Amino acid sequence: MPVTKTAKRALRSSKRKALVNAKILQNLEIAIRVAKKQKSAAKIIAAIKLTDKAAKKKVFHKNKAARIKSALSKLLPKGKKK
């Protein structure tokens, strides 16, 4: 347990941040699962957007976000050529 007043405050702050980060990750994992199952462009793009937001908030590293986005983009249907 923290002893000093500052350490106690930091612990409260880190607990709040951990809850927020866990919620962001949970929503992302659900979106990825849905995107992989349904393989519709809208679901995949929504999961990619959540990945970008999570990386921007530094929930995980930007390279991990790039890996996730790469895997999701492979699920996108091929565009029709004109």
> What DSSP string runs through 45-73?
HHHHHHHHHHHHTTSS-HHHHHHHHHHHH
Q: In whole numbers, what is the pLDDT of the chain averaged over residues?
A: 94
The rounded percent of the chain whose pLDDT value lies above 90 is 90
Under 8 Å between Cβ of 47 and 34: yes
Under 8 Å between Cβ of 52 and 64: no
pLDDT digits (tens, 9 = 90+) for 40-54: 999 999 999 999 999
For residue 77, pLDDT beyond 90: no
pLDDT digits (tens, 9 = 90+) for 25-43: 999 999 999 999 999 999 9
